[in-house]
Amino acid sequence: SRLEETVKKTITDNPVVVYSKTWCSYSSEVKSLFNRLRVQPLVVELDQMGAQGPQLQKVLERLTGQHTVPNVFIGGKHIGGCTDTVKLHRKGELEALLAEAKNT
C-alpha cells in the first residue's frame, strides 16, 4: 500500500526513526535516551496526525509484528520498543548500531 511504501522510505532515508505518542512515558524515555546520546531521531507522533495515526500503526504492525509504541528503527532495521532499545544500550551494542547507521 501507499502508506507501507512511505514507512519503508522513511526508515530507509533516516538513520534513526521513532514512532511515538506524545503522552506516553515509554515513548518519552526512548526519545530522551537518544537525546543523551546526542542522536536526533526522526520522531513521528502517531497521535498528532489524525486518522493517519491508527492507519500507520496498522502498517507498522504488519511490517514488524509490533502494535505498541514506541517503535524504533535504526539503519532501516526494526529494533523494537523502549525496553529493547535500553537493553541494547546497557549491553553497549546501541552505539555500534548508531555509528553504522550514520555512515550508510
Ligand X SMILES: N[C@@H](CCC(=O)N[C@@H](CS)C(=O)NCC(=O)O)C(=O)O
What does the binding site for ligand X look like in residue numbers (CB under 6 A)? 23-26, 67-70, 81-83
Give the residue ranges of DSSP H helices in the chain. Answer: 2-13, 25-36, 52-64, 82-90, 94-103
Residue number with CB closer to a second copy (4 or 29): 29
Shortest separation between residue 83's beta carbon and a second copy, angstroms: 8
Q: Compute CA distances 25 → 32, 70, 82, whole Å.
A: 10, 9, 10
Residue in 25, 50, 91, 103 binding ligand FES, rule: CB under 6 A:
25
Residue in 4, 26, 47, 80 binding ligand FES, rule: CB under 6 A:
26
Query: Distance between CA 6 and CA 1 in Å, rounded?
Result: 9
Query: Distance between CA 100 and CA 48 in Å, rounded?
Result: 30
* Per-residue binder mask for a second copy (CB under 8 A), 67-86, x = binder: ---------------x----
